[in-house]
Structure 1
Amino acid sequence: MKAETFFTNRWGILLSVVAATFLWGSAFPVIKLSYEALDIQKTEIGEQILFAGYRFFLAALFIILFMILIKKRTFIKKENMKTLANISFFQTFLQYILFYIGLSLSTGIQGSIIAGTTSFFQIIFAHFMYKDDALSWKKSIGLCIGFTGVIFVNLTKGEYHFDFGIGEFLLLLAMVTGAYGNILAKNGTTKMDVANLTSFQMLLGSIGLLVIGGISSGFLPFTFDIKSTLLLFYLALLSAVGFILWNNIMKYNKVGKVSIFLFLIPVFGVLLSNILLHEPVHFFVLIGLVFVASGIVIVNRKEKRS
């Protein structure tokens, strides 16, 4: 089956977005386990950025190794380097610099809820960049209902008071840059193969993260054992597979149609945190899941022709 056929089929889209959001949702508890295994504290932003650099560098190598194994060409044309550099800057480097600094200055609840705004920004960018993907009342209603679900999901983490400070501002900027990076990647797939684009943008972005983190905390501050190594490899693998899936989804579909599915990430994050970290799950999670699913159905529901 051709990639275009799979990623434009209703069940192919559903399978792909659920797989990608499940993998990204699993990153939240696995990162916590990794920090615990490597003794990375909340205030050690340099170590967190360096660890992210390790993660995305390995993810890029995994994709390149896979392409070599299946005898697929791994190269980037000179004329595409500028496009690739822009994607890597927004989708990997700047997004995660802002994210880790912002998260260290904010609470987990506020960070999770703000992370849900990526869908909004992607759809807004698409409204201005693509004539056939304008914002509609149906999309607006679906987004609001889906985002309400994200808030319900995060109410499980305790009493919630929203304060908007520098940490929250940086997290919001991280979501803007990530959404813009996804749009750039969608445009880039018209010129480049998805696997090549994903691997090399991660490689470039990870080098920036490694340099920033290394200058701050040294390039080898961690003592890896079997557990922490396996956790790092899993995070790299989920990044590789998740971004390959998502960039393909974005390539073959309208942004407004698929961005709503990103609301599933915090849902999976909370459910998997219960399994891996034994964090309690409240009935609010189920209510949130109903809202998120309802928003997805509303946005993707085909209008009847008169």
Structure 2
Amino acid sequence: MKTPPYVLLMLATLLWGGNFVIGRAVSGDIPPLTLAFLRWCVAFIVFFPIAYRSLKHEWHMIKANWPIVIILSLTGVAAFNTLVYIGLHYTTSINASLMNSSTSIMIYILSFIFLREKLSKYQLLGTALSLSGVTFIISGGSIASLVDFTFNKGDLIVLIAVFCWSIYSLLIKHYAKRLPGQSTFLVTIFTGAIMLLPFYIYETATLTNLVHWQWSSIVAILYVGIFASVVAFLSWNSGVVQLGANKASIYLNFIPVFASIFAVLFLDEKLHAFQIVGGLAVVAGVIVSGRKVG
């Protein structure tokens, strides 16, 4: 019996929502570069037996598009999660997950700039709505912050991470017919981990208290390496195949919902009015921008 697509998509967003909370929860126990590196090492070990056979048959496709694969590894694997984990040292998991909701809007902007794709009136309106929501969140709902440009640096770092993920998503969409899914993901995991290795070594050499090894740290690494990476990826891809990319993308708005619930329940984070208002603006912008003209 085939699992319904909405179950797969909800599972993926639930696991990704948990990734923001886990990253925040262990920010004092595991340095960000170390967490990112260990995450992708675990993901590679788990995913290698699943995708190896496909890779043997599809290697020629990977090799033919290796510059794109390198960029995918840099933006989607090495940069995105590392920047998120760094940002979570300075901001809340709720803020970070809300910022992540602006991904589709950023993809529209990048498509307009680099692919010369025209923006519809709904996309323009949605972009304005979402960007205003993001600005409201990073300013903490304070006009004074907007005037003085005193933003939380963690929010800004996460925003850069979202920019990297948007580039990754745009390339994945653009090269979908030329790059096989599972094989490409396996290679980008390996390449991204290699990119992170020197930063991991540097962090290990310069920090005196590197990792506080305890059960919570081990569980966190296994969670982000297995569930937030491999299980979420396979669930999302399967759901997208069944439902279609456009209909599936709306499920990404559940990430901040799950992250906020987990953060309030397990991290004692407070959900503030400016986060609700800003988050609703971001989600509304995504919904409006997805409307078809006519």
CA distance in 2, matches of 1:159, 1:268: 28
Q: TM-score, normalised by structure 1?
A: 0.71
Contact 1:95 1:174 in 2 (8 A): yes
SS in 1 for 2:27: helix
CA distance in 1, matches of 2:128, 2:142: 22
After superposition, where does 1:97-246 map in structure 2 within 5 Å?
97-100=82-85, 107-108=91-92, 114-128=99-113, 134-146=118-130, 161=145, 163-164=150-151, 170-218=157-205, 221-222=210-211, 224-236=213-225, 237-245=227-235
Residues 1:53 and 2:40 are matched in the alignment: no
CA distance in 2, matches of 1:49, 1:160: 33
Query: Which one of the candidate residues 260, 269, 272 is aligned to 2:262?
Result: 272
Structure 2, unmatched stretches of 5+, are none
**Which has the higher mean CA deviation after the structures are superposed, 88-97 or 204-213?**
88-97
Amino acid at match of 1:91: G
The percent identity for this pair of structures is 24
Deviations 1:86-138 (A, max 9, x none): 2101212233454455565x54487566544433321112235557x632111
Root mean square deviation of aligned Cα: 4.2
Residues 1:86 and 2:71 are matched in the alignment: yes
Q: TM-score, normalised by structure 2?
A: 0.73
CA distance in 1, matches of 2:188, 2:201: 20
Structure 1, unmatched stretches of 5+, are 41-46
1:215 to partner: Cα distance: 2.0
Residues 1:74 and 2:74 are matched in the alignment: no
Contact 2:24 2:88 in 1 (8 A): no
CA distance in 2, matches of 1:160, 1:260: 33
Contact 2:76 2:164 in 1 (8 A): yes
SS in 1 for 2:65: helix
SS in 2 for 1:35: coil
CA distance in 2, matches of 1:85, 1:124: 22
Taking a change above 3 Å as real, the CA distance of residues 283 and 170 of structure 1, as seen in their structure-2 partners, is: closer
